[in-house]
Amino acid sequence: MKAKFIILTALLFLFGCSRGWDYKDYFNFYNQFEEPSYVEIESNGFIYQLQYRPKEFLAINELKTDPAINNKLIESELTKYDEGLNYCLRISSTENVDVLTQNLPNDGEYYTRIGKLNVDFPYLISGINDADTIRCQFHHFERAYKIQPFIQVLFSLNATDENRPNTIQFEDIIFNDGRLIEFKNLENYYTQLPELNL
C-alpha cells in the first residue's frame, strides 16, 4: 500500500508539474532583457546583445493590453508568427552614452547612422546554419531619441525551428568600422531559454 502511494505521488509530481513558465513571467523575462535572455559581445567600445524572440513572446506582446488574455488566446495568436524567426539586436556604448553619437567624425554622420539602420541593416545581418546563409526578411529600427543609451533593431530571419541559425553575423559598418560581430554556438543559448506553459 505504501509503495503504491509513493508511485502515485511520484506520477502526480512528474506529470502534474510543468517545466514551463506562466505567460506573465515569460513575457517579462524577454521584455526586461533579463539574463540569460540574450547573448552579448563587446567590441571596440560597443556592446552587442542578441535576443531570440520566440513566437510565444510575440503573441503575448500583441495581446498584453487585452484584459481577456489567457493561454487559449495566446495559442490562437501563434500562427501569425510562423513565418521566420525573430530577434532583437540591442547596441549600446561601454561609456553609457547615446550610441548614435559615439565616435562621430562629424555631426552629419549622426543622420547617416540613422539612415543605415533604416535602410542598410537587412544587408548587414544574416544567420548561418551549417553551410546555409539565412537572410533577413524584414527589420524595424526602434529609435530611442536620446532617452535610452542604446538602440534596438528587431529583425526576422527567413528560417524555421528546424533550420535555426547556429551563428548570427552582423557586419557593423554603422558604428564599428565594418567589424564582423559573430554570435556563435547559439544552440547552447536556445536550449537555456524558458518554455511557455500553455
The pair phi, psi for residue 153, each rounded to 5°, is -125, 120
150-157 vs 167-172, strand pairing mode? unpaired
Note the pLDDT tens digit of each residue in 38-75. Answer: 999 999 999 999 999 999 999 999 999 999 999 999 99
Q: How confident is residue 15, by pLDDT bands cut at 50, 70 and 90? A: very low
**Segment 118-146 mean pLDDT:** 93
pLDDT of residue 14: 40
Residue 128 near residue 165, CB atoms below 8 Å: yes
Phi/psi region, residue 111 (left: phi>0; alpha: psi -120 to 50; beta: rest), is alpha
- Percentage of the chain beyond pLDDT 70 is 90
Q: What cell does 42 get?
A: 563587446
Residue 184 near residue 47, CB atoms below 8 Å: no
Other beta carbons within 10 angstroms of residue 96's beta carbon come to 10
Amino acid at residue number 166 = N
Distance CA 159, CA 103 (A): 35
pLDDT at 36 over 50: yes
Burial (CB count <10 Å: 0-12, 13-18, 19+), residue 109: middle
Note the pLDDT tens digit of each residue in 141-163. Answer: 998 777 888 999 999 999 999 99
Alpha-carbon torsion 174, 176, 178, 183, what sign?
negative
DSSP calls for 114-163: HHHHHHTHHHHEEEEETTEEEEEEEEEEE--TTSSSEEEEEEEES--GGG
